[in-house]
Amino acid sequence: MSGLPVLGAGGWGTALAVNAARNGPVRLWARRADFARTLADQRVNAEYLPGVTLPAGLEVTAHLGEAITDAPFVLVVVPSVGVPDLLAALPRDLGVVLCAKGLAPDGGQLSVLARQLGFTRVAVLSGPNHAEEIGRGLPAATVVASRDGGFARSVQAALMTPGLRVYTSDDETGVELGGVLKNVMAVAAGLVDGLNLGDNAKSALITRGLREMNRYLTALGAREETVYGLSGLGDLVATATSRHSRNRAAGEAIARGEHPGQGGKIVEGLRTAGLLDAWAAAHGHDLPIVRAVAHVTRGEWTPGDGVARLMEREAKPEQH
């Protein structure tokens, strides 16, 4: 086999593989052998990305060693909880592009974890990118960020197609954590939708959520212009408003008293809310929307309690 390895055959991994196959050969790795055989035989990922045909240049395998042979870098597109184990199984001379929008088990950045494990070429990919649309070739844009500008440009060249415009950045922290925090804000937006609180409430939630993202990201060294770029504001708008958004749908389900899961698919924002709430408490940071989502998703507050606590906070200037 030869081609760009995409490790993870969920909806996002499949969409990235289909997009990259427009430029050349791709190897899509699926963890389960039976699932890999199904994808190879049926040429469609009916479980995670129905309706999108896998192109001829996309090969599927369940053998990790086979997938990464002779590859200069790989796209790591498994849920954040699975990233540590997958990184541990990869050769350290590989470049890794982290595509999960979540945190490491200790609440830290996955890119930091990758470097701690010995990887020297690390990048993160994030933006307003719904798999359902990118898999179909609808126009979209994303950002690949790395401290290594040459590596970022290599990834850009591999993924940029007529349907996906890829920008580069050296603000690794801003791009990675923007994609993480917007998931929590999207859960909050879903709570607003599920409670039928209206457009005014949702607009205010998104705007104040962006302000909260800015406080968190810049406290960790991100640049403000990144917060207001594709991986921050862009991704927040898409994830908080789209019918495709798993995080928004989870919040809506919670507000209706239903289970937030979607066919066993991981909702990153639910896990992230608790990790970020703990970080804010430990470091003395004010992340009220994160706190409300964390308490609601843990069942400690009702959705109505969360709204009331946000609305009853002390009066202050908008730019406080």
Contact 84, 105 (CB under 8 A): yes
The residue annotated as part of the active site, out of 182, 202, 265, 316, is 182
Catalytic, 182? Answer yes
d(CA 253, CA 267): 12
169 closest CA partner among 214, 232, 103, 115: 232
Angle at CA 46, nearest 5°, toward 256 and 82? 70
List the beta bridge partners of residue 98.
Answer: 76, 124
Distances (CA, A) of 138 to 53, 108, 160, 258, 276: 14, 33, 13, 32, 33
- Which tokens go with 152? 């970022």
For the annotated catalytic residues, the residue numbers are 182
